[in-house]
A and B are shown apart, each in its own frame.
Chain A
Amino acid sequence: MSGNNKKAWLYLLPALLFLIIFMVYPLIDVLIYSMEEGFNFASQTYFGVGLYNYSYVLHDPYFLQAVQNTFILVIITVPVSTGLALLISLGLSSIRPLRSLYQTIYFLPYVTNTLAVGLVFMILFQRTEYTDGLVNLMLSWFGAGPVDFIDGPYWAKMFVLCFYTIWVVMPFKILVLTSALASVNPDYYKAARVDGTPRLRVFARITLPAISPMLFYLIITGFIGAFKAYSDAVALFGTDLNAAGMNTIVGYVYDMLYGDSGGYPSYASAAAIILFAIVLTITCVNLLVSRKKVQY
């Protein structure tokens, strides 16, 4: 090892130390927990080592419900929020007057507390004894019957959850995409204009490739974020998500640890490892696709 190399390791040491203590060690520990069958938290003892925890979690209807919910959430919110954010950013970058005002408005949800936004959504969607809520009022104008979005049918609750998630994650995406669009060299557009390029073609062949790195960054982080969703569901449906049928994988892990049915770190660990495997797989797939499609 050369002197320079030693120095480099020395500089990396503090960060490495923290990463190992707070990331790598807990990860391994969780993996160990998930393998220990019949672990007793109080006595720190277990009966044996095996895959029983995984088998239990994978056969738990609550977990399967949580997986289904999470996947629906991911599949709907990531494309819709990214697509909408792209449309809005395109709109924002093509208007001149009041642009900064609109940018501020679109960015507001990002600085607003999740639970506060959840409260607003409750008011909009919830039916109580006194009122059907604002959304139901609007639905009634079109002759649609009142729907209980918070305690009603599964699709209604899922709709609200997706709507809410999209609303919460979009501002950041708009921010990133607006700046990505602004950094495209205007000469490309001028060159395209001289050649009489149709607008759609300009978008598909010039704009989209130019912002593709940022777009893929948003998609990858969007997938990861949506897979780890939990607080959004709590904000809307309260802490007893299993009862509402709206639990997510992270919510399941939490419930297994601390919830009313909690106290099972082994099951929680197994569920966490399964989530980790899913996110890792999806991210790897994303990166493989992006390597082919994205122009850096």
Chain B
Amino acid sequence: MKIELEHLTKTFPGRGRKEQAGVTAVNDFSCQIPDGELIALLGPSGCGKSTTLNLICGLETPSAGKILFGGEDVTSLAPELRGVGMVFQNYALYPNMTVRQNIMFPLENKKKKERLPKEEMEKRVMDTARLVQIEELMERKPKELSGGQQQRVAIARALVKMPKVLLLDEPLSNLDARLRLKTREEIRKIQKQTGITTVFVTHDQDEAMSISDRIAVMNQGALMQAGRPQEVYDNPVNLFVAKFLGTPPINVFEGVVKDQTLYIGSEAVLSVKGVGDQPVWAGVRPEGFIPQENGPLGCRLNRVEIMGRDVSIISGHDACAGQDIRSIISAENHVDTGSDTVRFALKPNKVFLFHKETEERIPFASN
């Protein structure tokens, strides 16, 4: 089911006796989620992504804006009437019930007349359990399960109602690193099998980029950019998005554009056509550096980390706001580790310019 969010805003009232201004958790959020896709709401903690999820779910009502499911306005509909399934961060499995009872619970909530016959319910529960591969665990209590298994039970409980939309709140944050990799593949697989439109919230950009069809990057309640992961990575609209995506993170230099050329420090490092003279932030992806003996950008060489497949050069530069510059180059390149400086040429498509104040992207043409 296609989900459309139109100018969604959520303001929580201020606390305390004084008439304090409310907190705007979600601010004018508009986004379209095509049918059957997996979309990640990505952002730092406190950016409003969980509130957005709760708004889609119906646990919160928006202060303004509309939510449409398949063209139908569901803004004021109660959660159970929207046909959504939700998986909570800590899974919220009822501790006193077995796995079977937990999965059965949503089906038993309906009034006697609307309820499915008992055999049908049993069958649905078993089908869903098979989908997430927990058939052998049906008689256990949640506390007798590992984190990954609890996660699957939670997904099964959300799926058993055959929702049109599946919502996952930080689904992997309670799992250890190895399990996280495995589980995210499984979530992707289940989503593909069922074809349910799925929204999941995460602060881990790795997670978001690897399994989702689309990502929506949020900051301070506002949608920064939405699109296919690679598009967003290759074309960040502002400095925040550029910094948030990518591991290791993008390297940001203070630079100046003069005569259509980017200067970092006193060195002219790149020709940037179509940009007026101004101070800028220059972001360079770690893979955007080419070590060259007489490259235009000179950095202090701190150390070299060999990682087998590639090499990571950690260096410093006065224009780089006191932080290390991390560049990743292929292991075939020879770097003179004895020298105390290293010189780079830059790949133009891995360099982004941002406005000094607004931090918005400044497009440029290279050559």
Contacts and interface: CB of A to CB of B under 8 A. Distances in A.
B239 to A, nearest CB: 35
Interface string A93-106: 00000000000000
A196 B78 contact: yes
A132 B58 CA distance: 58
Interface stretch (A44-52, A201-209, A230-238): A201-209
Dominant secondary structure at the A interface: helix
Contacts of A198: 109
Interface in B74-92: 78-81, 84-86, 88-90, 92
Contacts of B88: 187, 190-191
B104 to A, nearest CB: 11
Interface string A206-225: 10011000000000000000
A195 interface: yes
A258 to B, nearest CB: 49
A183 B92 CA distance: 14
A4 B179 CA distance: 39
Nearest to B158: A194
A185 B90 contact: yes
- What 8 A-B pairs are tightest by C-beta distance, nearest first? A196-B80, A209-B96, A187-B92, A195-B106, A295-B96, A191-B92, A194-B79, A194-B86
A268 B167 CA distance: 68
Contacts of A196: 78-81, 106, 109-110
A154 interface: no
- Which bucket holds chain A's interface residue count? 10 to 19
7 contacts: A187-B90, A191-B88, A196-B79, A196-B81, A205-B94, A206-B94, A210-B95
Contacts, number: 56
B92 A195 contact: no
Nearest to B90: A187
Given A187-B88, A205-B105, A193 B79 contact: yes
B321 interface: no
A188 interface: yes
B92 A185 contact: yes
A193 B80 contact: yes
A140 interface: no
Contacts of A195: 80, 105-106, 109, 161
A221 B105 CA distance: 34
Interface in A271-296: 295
A194 B85 contact: yes
Contacts of B116: none
A191 B86 contact: yes
B181 interface: no
Given A194-B79, A195-B161, A196-B78, A188 B92 contact: yes
Nearest to A185: B92
A188 B92 CA distance: 5
A295 B106 CA distance: 21
Contacts of A194: 57-59, 79-80, 84-86
B308 to A, nearest CB: 43
Contacts of A209: 94-96
Nearest to A295: B96
A149 B288 CA distance: 92
A40 interface: no
Contacts of A191: 86, 88, 92, 94, 157
Interface in B30-59: 57-59
A295 B144 CA distance: 13
A179 interface: no
A55 interface: no
Contacts of A206: 94
